[in-house]
């Protein structure tokens, strides 16, 4: 089909849009708390059904954050709200499978 693997395929763009949406919503929520992270990274791992259509049946996000003024409880609440209410792409993924997340806070 061309391309020779030199660019992302549509599913990779879809997963990328999930990471982008979640990241923006987390940064906005932190900004509402007056927190500007020094660094944030989101890793996404997904598994797909073996039958067609091969929906993602589970997607797990690992958010790694370096910021002052955050704690595990705050980040759990922000991530929960992001996945269930604030990010429409996460909500779409949740309609066909499970979406989970964890946060790793690094000290600046």
The pTM is what?
0.90
CB 67 within 8 A of CB 102: no
- For residue 30, the tally of other CB atoms under 10 A from its CB is 20
CB 14 within 8 A of CB 44: no
- For residue 83, the tally of other CB atoms under 10 A from its CB is 22
The 10s digit of each residue's pLDDT in 20-73 is 999 999 999 999 999 999 999 999 999 999 999 888 999 999 999 999 999 999
Over residues 87-102, mean pLDDT: 95
What's the pLDDT score for residue 54? 87
Question: In degrees rounded to 5, what are phi and psi of residue 106?
Answer: -105, 140
Higher pLDDT, 36 or 5: 36
For the chain, list the domains and their CATH numbers: 10-106 (3.30.300.20)
């Amino acid at each position: 089909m061309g391309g020779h693997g030199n660019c992302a395929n549509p599913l990779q763009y879809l997963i990328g849009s999930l990471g982008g949406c979640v990241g923006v919503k987390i940064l906005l929520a932190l900004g509402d708390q007056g927190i500007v992270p020094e660094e944030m990274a989101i890793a996404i791992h997904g598994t797909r059904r073996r039958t067609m259509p091969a929906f993602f049946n589970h997607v797990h996000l690992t958010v790694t954050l370096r910021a002052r003024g955050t704690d595990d409880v705050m980040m759990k609440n922000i991530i929960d709200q992001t996945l269930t209410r604030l990010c429409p792409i996460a909500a779409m993924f949740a309609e066909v499978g499970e979406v989970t997340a964890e946060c790793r806070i690094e000290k600046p």
